[in-house]
Structure 1
Amino acid sequence: MSADTLEQPRIVSLGCRLNLAEAERMKAMLADAGDMVVVNSCAVTGEAVRQTRQAIRRARRERPDARLIVTGCAAETEREAIAAMPEVDGIVANAEKLDPRRWNAPLADAPPPPTRTRAFIAVQNGCDHACTFCIIPQGRGKSRSLSIAEVLHEIERHLDLGAREVVLTGVDVTSWGADLPGKPSLGALVSAILEASPKLERLRMSSLDGIEIDGALFELLASEERLMPHLHLSLQHGHDLILKRMKRRHSRADALSLVQRLKARRPDIAIGADLIAGFPTETAEHHEANLSIIDALDIVHGHVFPYSPRPGTPATRMPQVDRATVKARAAQLRERVAKRRERWLASLVDKELCVLAERDGTGYSPTFARVRLPAGTLPGTLVAITPRAIEKGTLL
């Protein structure tokens, strides 16, 4: 590795899409920072904290002379323990990581990062809820929203750099606007984006809390062609008692009703969901309900998390499920999602798809199916592709 390469700052980002979006902004802001590594940490589970520690140690081995700074959620929830690691030179508070003054960077509006084919726009940060398994409110603080004008400005900057798709992201995206004057809804923001940005060809939502989808947003998800037919739900479980113990605000029936109403209007919409396996007190019956909701909602994009106790959260004080059972139940959930996904991908074979080409030779359809593209396809182009086969979860 050359000296020039070693002197370039590096951002190591773990966890959610919001962290990834923030990492892009930090990378632009710290372009002239020299030999520095920033670990943008995650604390959503005990496993995430373990991976953060691994990333810190790995970064130090790979860049022994670099200044190593840790930010992100683990820098808040595990501040003393992270700061005590011998590899760490400093901590930057999560709420301050996009403030140039905290990094001694220029105060001028930072140039936007080199745009990828999809631009992630963090429209909201923080969370006002208190799910019993989650420590993120302690790491991110209360919910805070960008104004509509700020969001439109960010989108315009990325469109000028060639973005073809924008993804709206945040910690609790559906709470966007609750802290703004007049408390506008997320549907109002999406409507404003589509109206103000006629150049924007594809708009996609990241994970949403289904119970907070307002009427205007539902109508857009059901009918607006530029809003991608892909809904990822922050679902977490399929049994009402476990949802209650998680302190979620929706029921199984709420999720079923939402998806049924959307599919009645837009049959091709692809459903994704976060699911937790082995939550404290979960019985075999509860687990069966978790499995069955995969089929009931036709979940084809599943993020399955084996529950792990998170110090500082109420769920750690509940009766725990043994680790072997948690692991086995997580495997069963993943297998059930994989079967539904395989059937869904098979239904797309021999159908023409409009695919946005990425830089790695693949691309994504409107429903977020991954497609391997012909050699020579230019990144950032929208191409009509008719897949003929499936290999390892990718359409060919």
Structure 2
Amino acid sequence: MTRARQAEVISFGCRLNLSESETIRSLLARESDIVVINSCAVTAEAVRQTRQAIRKARRQNPAARLLVTGCAADIEREQLAAMPEVDGLIPNTDKLDPRAWNVPPRPGLTPPTAHTRAFIAVQNGCDHACTFCVIPQGRGPSRSLTIPQVLAEVERHLTMGAPEVVLTGVDVTSWGHDLPDRPRLGAMVRAILDAFPRLQRLRMSSLDGVEIDGELFELLAGEKRVMPHLHLSLQHGHDLVLKRMKRRHSRADALRLVASLRARRPDIAIGADLIAGFPTEDAAMHAANLSIVDELDIVHGHIFPYSPRPGTPAARMPQVNHAVIRQRAAELRAAVARVRDRWLNAQIGQRLHVLSEADGTGHAENFARVAIPAGTPRGTILPLTPTRLEEGLLQ
């Protein structure tokens, strides 16, 4: 007799998807012979990877029920539904609802401890209309958890032993805009820190710098339990491109924000999302994109080669040649690699507190990746002083 396989969830894309995949695993914990692809649609490459994963999952699980959810399940619905490997699609907005999976409700659902960090989705959806982005089509309008709901989620993860909490969302800095009295994100972060003195580390996912409120700035600048690591939803370093993207910040805004934070917290590590080859981008605009990497000292760079997404205004703008986009993306990655290498070398000899992962490495407060001693239990925070850098890993 063939033994039924436990439900499997394969996740792509953002930290919010990762968090939601943990909840889906819990919902399906008593189910078998189900494979779920939690998809991403932020770029054409993300959709290609989703389709590739669907085919691979079907080859490896020929008898399983294969279901697809996530942003691509909404944005590329017809194309994915037409794939012979797919048995069904779960709308992105319904994927945390037990009824969508035909399973009974499970009050007090606690996600499994599959990750060293607890990813808590405090917000979903987006109210902005960036010209390149399809995510509002897949996620809907911005919706926030209340502070009591967030505190309950943090409590669950701390009870399970999570040493670090990461607050995630589609547009985290818009948290609270839809709640009574429109609280700001800083108030929620302060509530978490006040409610849980035992919480050792709190980290933020990607933030829109123009929406960082005064209290959040103070916490980023001076609270030791808030990690010195700011990842900006920057997208570009040239003002005209930012305007054509319908972003709400300028290059000068980003420079001022980072300079102000560094004046208060010199060890803060800066990350950023940058798009290469946005429509109409010329050589001078690309040069501005490259130069902001050095000006902000971007050490954690997420570089996205632009790809037109269906139904977006940017898809109707004059496009940059694909080969040029690839080359510009490679140059941006190289620029970040140079800055990152210089930064990592500066960490040698510094005392770092490293949260151990399952793969023999861990991450310091500033998210530098560090080798950890063999046999260190997962989830341990230990002080280490690296003595060398090998292939991007502090040793």
Which band: TM-score by shorter chain?
Answer: over 0.9
> Which residue of 2 is the match for residue 43 of structure 1?
41
- CA distance in structure 2 between the partners assigned to 1:61 and 1:192 by the alignment: 47
CA RMSD of aligned residues (A): 1.0
Distance in 2, matches of 1:198 and 1:69, equals 41
2:132 aligned residue:
133
Count of matched residue positions in the alignment of Structure 1 and Structure 2: 394
Corresponding residue number in structure 2 for 1:66: 64
Residue 14 (1) aligns with residue 15 (2)? no
- Give, in whole Å, the separation in 2 of the partners of 1:87 and 1:301: 36
Verify: 1:381 aligned to 2:357, yes or no. no
Give the aligned partner of residue 50 of structure 2.
52
Contact 2:22 2:114 in 1 (8 A): no
Q: What CA distance in whole angstroms lies between the structure 2 residues aligned with 1:3 and 1:215?
A: 59
Amino acid at match of 1:240: D
Partner Cα separation in structure 2 for residue 129 and residue 342 of structure 1: 35
What SS class does the counterpart of residue 130 from structure 1 fall into?
coil
Percentage identity across paired residues of the two chains: 68
Written as runs of structure 1 = structure 2, the 5 A alignment for 1:138-217 is 138-217=137-216
TM-score, length basis structure 2: 0.98
Matches within 5 A, 1:79-98: 79-98=77-96
Matched residue SS, 1:367: coil
Residue pair 1:306, 1:330 contacting (<8 A) in 2 also: yes
CA distance in 2, matches of 1:364, 1:304: 21
2:370: which partner in 1? 371
Worse overlay, 49-58 or 334-343 = 49-58
> How far off its partner does 1:111 sit?
3.0
Q: Can you give the 5+ residue segments of structure 1 that lack an aligned partner in the other structure?
A: none
The offset of 1:114, in angstroms, is 2.3
> Secondary structure of 1:57's partner?
helix
**Residue of structure 2 equivalent to 1:225:** 224
Give, in angstroms, the shift of residue 112 of structure 1: 2.3
User: Which amino acid in structure 2 is aligned with residue 142 of structure 1?
Assistant: P
User: Once the two structures are superposed, what CA deviation does each residue of 1:292-339 show, in whole Å capped at 9, x if it has no partner?
Assistant: 000110100000011011121110110111011000000000000000
1:289 aligned partner: 288
Matched AA of 2:38: N
- CA–CA distance in 2 between the matches of 1:284 and 1:111? 50
The within-5 A match list for 1:256-271 is: 256-271=255-270
| Secondary structure of the corresponding residue to residue 305 of structure 1 | strand
Residue in structure 2 matched with residue 354 of structure 1 by the alignment = 353
Alignment gaps of 5+ in structure 2: none
The residue identity in structure 1 corresponding to 2:161 is: G
Whether the 8 Å contact between 2:116 and 2:379 is mirrored in structure 1 is yes
Provide TM-score, normalisation by structure 1.
Answer: 0.98
Provide the C-alpha distance between the structure 2 equivalents of 1:369 and 1:336, rounded to a whole number of angstroms: 17
* Cα displacement string for residues 114-155 of structure 1 (whole angstroms, at most 9, x for unaligned residues): 253210000000000000000000000000001100110001
Contact 1:363 1:373 in 2 (8 A): yes
* Cα separation, 1, equivalents of 2:295 and 2:390: 26
Deviates further, 115-124 or 358-367: 115-124
- Residue of structure 2 in register with 1:334 after alignment: 333
Which stretch shows the higher mean deviation, 229-238 or 311-320? 311-320
- Per-residue CA deviations over 1:213-241 (Å, capped at 9, x if unaligned) read 00000000000000000000000000000
**Structure 1 segments of 4 or more deviating over 3 A?**
none
Distance 1:376 1:12 in 2: 28
Secondary structure in 1 matching 2:291: helix
Q: CA deviation at 1:351?
A: 1.1
2:278 aligned partner, one-letter code: F
Q: Which residue of 2 aligns with 1:301?
A: 300
> Shift in Å at residue 366 of structure 1?
0.3
Instruction: Determine the C-alpha separation between the residues in 2 that align with 1:112 and 1:55.
Output: 24
Offset of residue 84 of structure 1 = 1.2
Does the residue aligned with 2:307 lie in a helix, a strand or coil? coil
Q: C-alpha distance in 1, partners of 2:309/2:78? A: 16
CA positional deviation for 1:189: 0.4
Q: 2:237 is aligned with what amino acid?
A: G
Asked if structure 2 preserves the Cα contact closer than 8 Å seen for 1:115 and 1:163, the reply is no
Moved more, 115-124 or 174-183: 115-124
Tell me, yes or no, if the aligned pair for 1:119 and 1:165 is still in contact at 8 Å. yes
Work out whether residues 110 and 156 of structure 2, in 8 Å CA contact, stay in contact via their aligned partners in 1. no
Question: What's the CA shift for 1:3?
Answer: 4.8
CA contact (8 A) 2:116 2:163 kept: yes
Residue 104 of structure 1 pairs with residue 102 of structure 2: yes
1:380 maps to amino acid: G
Provide the residue aligned with 2:29 in structure 1: 31
